[in-house]
Amino acid sequence: MLYRDLATQEAIDRAYDPMRGRDPAVLLADWHDRSAASRQRHRVTLDLPYGPTLAECLDVYHAEGRGEERAAGGEEGKPVPCHLFFHGGYWRSLGHKEFGFVVDGLVASGITVAVVNYALCPAVAFGEVVRQARAALAWVYRHAGALGVNPRQISVSGHSAGGHLCAMLLATDWEGDYGLPDDLIKGALCVSGLYDLGPFPWSWLQPKLQLSGRDVSDYSPVRLPCRVPVGVQLVAGGEESSEFARQMQAYAEHLRGQGIGVASAMLDGDDHFSLLEHYRPGGRFVEGITAFHP
């Protein structure tokens, strides 16, 4: 067997194929149009650099409403909560511009949202993608005042590869490596994430990811201690391959074994991509993220 009960590359590729009948061109066109509309609809600061390379940037969608005490962007009154979103694409495709549409419900709830871009494999090594995700969070924390957000009210979420990156943020020694509080994340939502990298060296992705055995050990959240004492929400779609659900449950058990509070859910009727519709105003993810910031 190459990985668990998957004996061939073809079996692994099928198990980790998120498209499963989807037309990627149609999907991306819809995200592009909706994200462009979100950038027109909201007050947004585009492409703020959080690191030295062009890929290390983020779009900040400034909060609206949520009472007079939380004015837009925190420019007046009390600083607002901040949420960082990390996109998917199997660490080797897509960028922050395709995912502006996820912010609508959150900014309307008084939460500023940073949609994070990062460099892609194989232009950079896999570990560099993880480093950039960590750098983005550290940058937001350190620049909270300029962004009008409360550094004690930061949450994160990510979809697919982005879910993996959020889990890696939870495995970070923030005090030891960055001089930041270990509890700087107030809530984490991982949507259809990948928490064990074990199958991917045997998959079609390997020429892009170029994962070594050391990478699999160092960057698989199920093999790492959780260093952030925070409640975690894990979600997968009922219409996805069973491997996505298995990975979610394995990570949930890993966290619970360390005393971390975890809520995990299979959403019947959702596939890998329809899960993102729960970021719509009034959606399940908006409610969950808002609950991180009472």
Q: What is the pLDDT of residues 23-74, one digit of tens each?
A: 999 999 999 999 999 999 999 999 999 999 999 999 999 999 643 333 344 4
Strand 57-61 relative to strand 44-49: parallel, antiparallel, unpaired?
Answer: antiparallel
| Residues 6 or more apart in contact with residue 5 via CB below 8 angstroms | none
Spatial separation of the C-alpha atoms in residues 280 and 286, rounded to whole Å: 7
In this predicted structure, what is the pLDDT of residue 77? Answer: 66
For residue 76, name the pLDDT band (cuts at 50, 70, 90): low
Question: What value does the CA radius of gyration of the chain take, rounded to a whole number of Å?
Answer: 18
What domains are there in the chain, each with its CATH number? 23-190+203-229 (3.40.50.1820)
Q: H helices then E strands: how many in the chain?
A: 10, 8
**If pLDDT is split at 50, 70 and 90, which confidence band does 100 have?**
very high
Which element (helix H / strand E) includes 267? strand 262-267
Model-level pTM?
A: 0.95
Q: Quote the CA–CA distance of 68 and 7 in Å, as a whole number.
A: 59
List, for residues 119-160, the tens digit of each pLDDT value: 999 999 999 999 999 999 999 999 999 999 999 999 999 999
